[in-house]
Every structure is written in C-alpha cells, then in structure tokens.
Amino acid sequence: MKKVLYAVLSVFSFAFFMFFYNQQVFAEVDLKELEKEVSQEQISSEMDDIIVMQNEVASILGSYEEIQNYGTVYIDRANGFKIVIGFKNEDLITNRIKNVLSEKLGEKVEFAVTDITYNELSKIKDDIFDNRESLESSGIHITSVGVDEENNKVNVIANKVDNLSIASQLFEEKYGGTDDIINFVFDPEAKNYMEFSRRDNHSILGGGIGLQLPDGGTCSTAFTATQGNTKFLATAGHCLNGDGSIIRQWSNNVGTDHVSYFQSRGFDIGLINVTNSGRKISNYIFANAVTYYDAKYTNSGSFLMNQYVCKAGITTNYTCGQVQETSTSYKDDVTGVTVKDVVKIYATGNTTEF
C-alpha cells in the first residue's frame, strides 16, 4: 500500500469505528484525488469563495469562530469544489446564514444536517489527548488526535497497542456511545513531522525565506507583522527561545529573538523583532521562484476540511497539500513538546515530501 506522509501547520487565525481487530489498520486516502495537479488560479479562486463565506458568517455571528458552536464546515471535492456547512440545529440565525450565503455563493455552497458540532468534536479530541499518559500506561501509545469535520469524527492514531481487547474495553468505558464518532487507526510507523525550511540576504523581508539560528540550525519566515511602530518576522515557535539572541537572514543579522510560544504554550509560533534591521518588510512570499518574490498575502481566514494549502521554505521548497484534519494535537517526537490546535495535511502529487 502506498504510504502518505503528513505534516502539521500551525493555525494562526483562525471511523472510533472501533477497529480493534487483531490486525494492522491504516488510514485510507484517495491518492488519485490528491495527485491531481492543482493550479494557482484554482487555489486563488477557491480562497476568494472561502473568504466571502467566512466574512459573511462573521458579520452575522460576530466572529467566524462562532460557527463552531453551530456545526461543521468542510470542502466537498466529489464534483469539483463546494463549501458544505452542517448545522446541528436550525433557528433564525442559521436560516439567515443560509439565505445570505446562497445569494453570495450560489451552487458553491451547500447545507446539511449534522449530529455534532466542531466544538463538541474538539472537546472529545482534547479529552483523549490530555489523557494520553493514562492510555499509555494501559498500553495505548497515541501519536496524534485530530478533528475530521467532513466525516464528523475524531481521528486517533496510535503506533503501539499492547492489547487490543483491553484497549477496546478502555475506550468503551471512557467514551461509551461515541463509537460512531471516534476513528481509531493503528499505524506502527506513525510519526509527527515538523519541516524546517531561501538562501540569500533579502533587503525586503517577506515569507518563505531562510533564517539562520544561533545554534547553527535553519528555519524559514512565515510572514511579517507590525504592532505600532515595531516590526516583526513570524516563524515557527520551535525555531526560537524568546531570549533576545541575534537571528540572521540569511548570513546577515536581521533582528532579535523576541518571543516563542512553543515550549510555554504549545503554539508553534514565534516572533523576531526586526525594527532596527534597516530592512523593509512586505506582504511578499518567496513561493516557487528562482530569483525573487513571486506571491503575496492578500487576506487571511480559517482552514477548511479538504482545502488546498501551500507553504514555502528552506527544506522543502514550495509544496502544496490538502487539509485532512482542521484541529490536531500531538506530542513532538524530537522536542517532547505537546502541540495543540494545528492543521494536518497530506502531500499532493507533484511536490516534494511535505
């Protein structure tokens, strides 16, 4: 069976069909669908529709995240592209959302009935993940737990199960009645991958360019940000310590290690203060170029199930994938840090490992 590597992306903005048989069970992925080449035009067009949806929902509910109390949202790719919103209950507010989005997006949006909300799934996910030490003492070694909004399930991936019958009993006792919600996958080779990742000094700072750290390691910039007159480069939290040390981009000093929330809070986001670097900041991205920036940030939003997303960096260059879980928690294999609320994606066909 062809194996598929997955990666996790930090979320900045925002089945347990009880497979306890005496055999190995792996998550199945539609590889033919993933291997279809996706154009930048398609990604951009879909993002425009997603932003319209999220902005309209936010205008009705006060914030887009509030929809997580009403149901689930994902992208259906069975026949192209369609945003599917599942509501657990119907009321005047959900009817208003339906009317507004139907007018704005037409056939690009569809509404369904769901028996569980995103926040209810997320609560189950957090409960399982927070109790993983107890589960490990019973012989169940969990590598990650994530929310699958398309199938209304919580995916639990374990790379070691000492006794399948005992494991089954434990989950029935703890999560009785949720056997149609939890999808347990036993994969002895399951690991959590965190990719670091252009080698040149840029007078204009943006996303996707290389950083060199005091310990000799390398990382990549994600985007730039400001707070008042203070300028920042954002990168992965595991790249920084928040100790004020000098950070280089690529071989020239660019700023100081301002803050990291990786060790302290489990959020893989960090900031480099570049106010006094003498370099300009921009919304540019060094995506798939060979000489200069070739993309830029135009908007932000929340991830949707099955959405195409791309990243750029030193190690893996430019890679794209499809969102497979919208909220995943795991314990990093290398650092031992518990990371929460990240997005898991599968790599698409014509890219490097992701």
The string of pLDDT tens digits covering residues 193-209 is: 543 337 788 888 999 99
Q: Is the pLDDT of residue 30 over 60?
A: no
Residue at 301 is within a domain: no
Average pLDDT over residues 125-145: 86
Residues 91 and 235 in one domain: no
Residue at 337 is within a domain: no
Residues 6 and 82 in one domain: yes
Residues 251 and 272 in one domain: yes
Name the domain boundary from 244, 267, 285. 285
Task: Say which range, 151-155, 187-191, 214-218, 279-283, has the weakest mean pLDDT.
Answer: 187-191
Contact 117, 88 (CB under 8 A): yes
Q: Per the structure, how many domains does the chain have? A: 2
Model pTM greater than 0.75? no
Amino acid 38: pLDDT? 67
Residues 176 and 221 in one domain: no
pLDDT band at 338 (very low <50, low <70, confident <90, very high): confident
Q: Tens of pLDDT along 60-96?
A: 999 999 999 999 999 998 888 999 999 999 999 999 9
Residue at 32 is within a domain: yes
The DSSP string of 72-116 is EEEEE-TTS-EEEEEESS--HHHHHHHHHHHHHHGGGEEEEE-SS
Contact 167, 210 (CB under 8 A): no
Residue at 304 is within a domain: no
Q: Is the pLDDT of residue 332 over 90?
A: no
Output the domain CATH number for residue 254: 2.40.10.10
| Residue 274 domain boundaries | 204-285
pLDDT band at 22 (very low <50, low <70, confident <90, very high): very low
Task: Say which range, 18-22, 95-99, 194-198, has the weakest mean pLDDT.
Answer: 18-22
Q: Distance between CA atoms of 348 and 123, rounded to whole angstroms?
A: 30
Amino acid 183: pLDDT? 82
Residue 155, both tokens: 């995916």
Name the domain boundary from 252, 267, 285. 285
Pairwise pLDDT comparison (198 vs 292), residue with the higher score: 198
Residues 245 and 136 in one domain: no
Side chain identity at residue 336, one-letter code: G
Question: Residues for the chain: how many in total?
Answer: 354
Give the mean pLDDT of the chain: 80
Residues 77 and 180 in one domain: yes
Residue at 55 is within a domain: yes
Q: Distance between CA atoms of 119 and 72, rounded to whole angstroms?
A: 9
Q: Is the pLDDT of residue 210 over 70?
A: yes
Pairwise pLDDT comparison (289 vs 202), residue with the higher score: 202
